Structure 1
Amino acid sequence: MERRAVTQAPATTTPSAGAPADAWSSGEAAALVGAELSGPADLPLTRLDTLDRADRATLAFIRDEKHAQKWASSEAGAAIVTRGVEVPGHDPDRRALLIVDDADHALIRLLERIAPAHVGPPPGVHPQATVDPTATLGEAVRVGAGARVGPGTTIGEGTVLHANCVIGARVTIGRACDVRAGVVIEDRCVLGDAVVIHPNAVIGADGFGYRPAPDGRGLVKIPHAGHVEIGDAVEIGAGAMIDRGKFGATIIGAGAKIDNLVQIAHNCRIGRSCVICGACGIAGSVTIGDGAVLGGGVGVRDNVTIGAGAQVGARSGVMDDIPAGEVWVGYPARPAKETMRIVAATGRLPKILKRLRGLGVDEGLDRD
Structure 2
Amino acid sequence: MPSYTTADLAERVKGELKGRADLGIEGVGALKDASERQITFITDQTHAGLWARSRAAAAVITDGLDASGHDPNARALIVVPSASLAIIELLQLFAPPPLLPDAGVHPTAWVHPDASIGQDVRIGPHVSVDRGASIGDRVVLYAGVCIYAEAHVGDDSILHSNTVIRERCHLGQRVITHQNVSIGADGFGFEPAPDGSGLLHVPQIGNVELCDDVEIGAASCIDRAKFGTTVIGAGTKIDNLVQIAHNCRIGSSCVIAALSGLAGSVTVGDGVSIGGAVAVSPHVTIGSGVSVGACSGVMRDISPGQTCLGTPATEAREALRQAAALKRLPGWMREVSRRLDSD
1:77, 1:96 within 8 Å by CA — same for their partners in 2? yes
- Aligned: 1:270 with 2:250: yes
SS in 1 for 2:32: helix
**Same amino acid, percent of matched pairs:** 48
**Is there any run of 5+ residues in structure 1 with no aligned partner, and where?**
1-19, 364-368
Q: Cα distance, 1:117 vs. partner? A: 3.0
Q: 1:329 aligns with which of 309, 317, 335?
A: 309
Q: Cα distance, 1:362 vs. partner? A: 9.8
Q: Deviations over 1:180-224 (max 9, x none)?
A: 110000000011111011111000000001011111121111110
Q: 1:193 aligns with which of 173, 180, 185?
A: 173
- Aligned: 1:346 with 2:326: yes
Instruction: Measure the CA separation in 1 of the matches of 2:255 and 2:27.
Output: 30
Q: Structure 1 segments of 4 or more deviating over 6 A?
A: none
- Aligned: 1:284 with 2:280: no
**Is there any run of 5+ residues in structure 2 with no aligned partner, and where?**
none
Instruction: Measure the CA separation in 2 of the matches of 1:153 and 1:349.
Output: 61
Q: Cα distance, 1:361 vs. partner? A: 5.8
Q: Which residue of 2 aligns with 1:17?
A: none
1:279, 1:297 within 8 Å by CA — same for their partners in 2? yes
Q: Which residue of 1 aligns with 2:96?
A: 116
Q: Which residue of 2 aligns with 1:12?
A: none
Q: Which residue of 2 aligns with 1:163?
A: 143
Instruction: Measure the CA separation in 2 of the matches of 1:181 and 1:55.
Output: 34
- Aligned: 1:182 with 2:162: yes
The Cα RMSD (Å) is 1.4
- Aligned: 1:173 with 2:128: no
Count of equivalent residues: 343
Q: Which residue of 1 aligns with 2:205?
A: 225
Q: Cα distance, 1:249 vs. partner? A: 0.4
- Aligned: 1:304 with 2:304: no
Q: 1:154 aligns with which of 110, 118, 134?
A: 134
- Aligned: 1:318 with 2:289: no
Amino acid corresponding to residue 171 of structure 1 in structure 2: A
- Aligned: 1:143 with 2:123: yes
Amino acid corresponding to residue 342 of structure 1 in structure 2: Q
1:356, 1:362 within 8 Å by CA — same for their partners in 2? no
Q: Residues 362 and 112 from structure 1, CA distance in 2 versus in 1: closer, same or farther, beyond 3 angstroms?
A: farther
Instruction: Measure the CA separation in 2 of the matches of 1:131 and 1:59.
Output: 46
1:226, 1:245 within 8 Å by CA — same for their partners in 2? yes
Q: Deviations over 1:53-75 (max 9, x none)?
A: 23322211111212111112222
Amino acid corresponding to residue 213 of structure 1 in structure 2: A
- Aligned: 1:81 with 2:57: no
TM score, norm. by length of structure 1: 0.91
Instruction: Measure the CA separation in 2 of the matches of 1:50 and 1:159.
Output: 33
Instruction: Measure the CA separation in 2 of the matches of 1:227 and 1:47.
Output: 43
Q: Which residue of 2 aligns with 1:6?
A: none
- Aligned: 1:210 with 2:190: yes
Q: Deviations over 1:29-57 (max 9, x none)?
A: 22221221111112222331122123322
Q: Deviations over 1:283-307 (max 9, x none)?
A: 0000000111100110001000000
- Aligned: 1:101 with 2:81: yes
Q: Cα distance, 1:277 vs. partner? A: 0.7
Instruction: Measure the CA separation in 2 of the matches of 1:54 and 1:117.
Output: 22
SS in 1 for 2:184: strand
SS in 1 for 2:328: helix
Q: 1:62 aligns with which of 32, 42, 47?
A: 42
Instruction: Measure the CA separation in 2 of the matches of 1:310 and 1:175.
Output: 31
Q: Cα distance, 1:135 vs. partner? A: 0.3
Q: Deviations over 1:289-329 (max 9, x none)?
A: 01111001100010000000101000101000010010011
1:317, 1:333 within 8 Å by CA — same for their partners in 2? yes
Instruction: Measure the CA separation in 2 of the matches of 1:115 and 1:296.
Output: 28
1:146, 1:163 within 8 Å by CA — same for their partners in 2? yes
Instruction: Measure the CA separation in 2 of the matches of 1:172 and 1:51.
Output: 43
